[in-house]
Amino acid sequence: MLTFSSFKSLVIGTSAAIILAGCSYGTVDYDQFPGSANTDERINGQTMTRAQEKERGGLFGSEGLNIFGGENSQQGGGSGIGVNTFLWRASLDTLSFMPLNSADPFGGVIITDWYTPPESPDERFKLTTYILGTSLRSDAIKVSVFRQVNVGPNQWQDAVVEPGTVTSMEDAILTRARQLRIDSANSE
């Protein structure tokens, strides 16, 4: 006899099988669309056709992505994250004095927690860093600085951030990223 819980399990299992079967129906050749066959694209500073890109390998290169290490793991190539690796590392280095709230290397977002400098205990800062591209350029980094001042016991009020603070943080990150790139080139 079929009970309600076994009927529910049967319905859920059948639904999952139908959904998964629908996902694997056929393949799409994107080169068949107008304007896409042999379209040139810039990849790592080189112009490559789609055929050359397919020969290069999958999303993470011909070696794939080995997240557990081993002999085929990628070392410092940076193809595993979606942003410029020098800007990413430089941002983490520059913001290392602040506690991190979250860091998303694929989206290129670093959010710090509130930080109170020891020399001014009545104010605190929070930063959000956005890495906007894969190239090492000044327009590939954006920093947002938030400042609050203490107006009472455990009461904080938003305050104005000095205009040069954002620029100096972005410049510090860019300077560190350039140093990392130079060190990387010298070690090869």
Which has more pLDDT, 53 or 154?
154
End-to-end CA gap in the chain:
70
Q: What is the pLDDT of residue 58?
A: 46
Q: What is the pLDDT of residue 172?
A: 95
The residues, any chain, with a CB within 8 Å of residue 2's CB and separated by 6 or more, are: 10
Instruction: Give the model confidence (pLDDT) of 16-47 as tens digits.
Output: 656 655 554 455 444 444 444 443 444 444 44
If pLDDT is split at 50, 70 and 90, which confidence band does 1 have?
low
The rounded distance, in Å, linking the Cα atoms of 11 and 125 is 52
Which of 10-14, 50-54, 109-113 has the lowest average pLDDT?
50-54
- Predicted confidence (pLDDT) at residue 53 exceeds the cutoff of 90: no
Percentage of the chain surpassing pLDDT 90? 46
Q: What is the mean pLDDT of residues 73-80?
A: 44
- Predicted confidence (pLDDT) at residue 99 exceeds the cutoff of 90: yes
Q: Strand, coil or helix: what is 135?
A: coil
The rounded distance, in Å, linking the Cα atoms of 121 and 186 is 42
Instruction: Give the model confidence (pLDDT) of 122-181 as tens digits.
Output: 999 999 999 998 889 989 999 999 999 999 888 999 999 998 999 999 999 999 999 999
Spell out the domains of the chain, with CATH numbers in brackets: 32-80 (no CATH), 85-187 (3.30.530)
The rounded distance, in Å, linking the Cα atoms of 83 and 133 is 6
Give the E-state strand segments of 89-173 in sequence order.
100-104, 109-112, 123-131, 141-152, 155-159
Give the global pTM: 0.57
